[in-house]
Amino acid sequence: MTENSIHQAFENECQQEIARQGDDQKVVGLAREFFNESARHKYSYHFSWMGRPIIQLPQDMMAMQEIMWQVKPDLVIECGIAHGGSIIYYASLLELQGHGEVLGIDLDIRPHNREAIESHPMAKRIQMIEGSSIDEATAQQVRAIAEGKKVILVLDSNHTHDHVLEELRLYAPLVSVGSYCVVMDTVVEDMPADFFPDRPWGHGDNPKTAVWKYLEENNDFEIDRQMQNKLLITVAPDGYLRRVR
């Protein structure tokens, strides 16, 4: 067998196991139980990338690495910056590939976070826009930067249904065919109903309900269920959207 055929056989075996894993209700239930119980300890807050808090699950960041290697984007757009760990992570992956830039958007980029991001070794691949991601002036800036580029989109800002749906309507059309729009924190719909008492989002009003609504309006994307079956533990069930047309 050639090296390519050996690799393909391995990939085929993995895909079959992933499908079986996703159908295994016991392991899926255990993964959901782990997610809910560990979230009570803010599990996803405990990781950093190159010195900056990333506030993401390692499993989802591994998935983003796979997507970025597959797509090899010119531009990664992320709505939601926080401490900057995720945009620095994406920038570092692009640095390894030798091509591409990251555009981060946030309503409020706090001065200490901006300073840390702008002084970071990966800053050369990062642009930031301060403003609401659903403001038309912001969207016009993003469209201008994205024009003619192969784009990956990540939505991780305000998690209400209306906000995420408007982000999808504004920015998902920028995603290239074969690339991804990744909507974080769709898992809110699957978590205990009392988990977000001090937040404006919750059951029936969250990123997953926005994804479902957007897919009713638009058939350019499909949910990559193989990805969530592989991860099992993810903040983005039904949130890995692959553009197919």
Collapsing DSSP to helix, strand or coil, 7 comes out as: helix
Ranges under pLDDT 50 in the chain: none
Q: Contact, 83 vs 53, CB < 8 A?
A: yes
Separation CA 146–CA 179 (nearest Å): 14
- The angle, 0 to 180 degrees and rounded to 10, between the axes of the packed helices 3-23 and 25-39 is 80
103: Cβ–Cβ under 8 A, 6 or more apart, which residues? 75, 76, 77, 78, 126, 127, 128, 129, 142, 145, 146
User: By C-alpha distance, which of 167, 165, 243, 170 is closest to 211?
Assistant: 165
What is the pLDDT, as a whole number, of residue 193? 83
pLDDT at 207: 98
- Report the distance separating Cα 185 and Cα 209, nearest Å: 11
Say what the pLDDT of residue 230 is. Answer: 97
- According to DSSP, residue 39 is labeled H
Q: The pTM is what?
A: 0.96
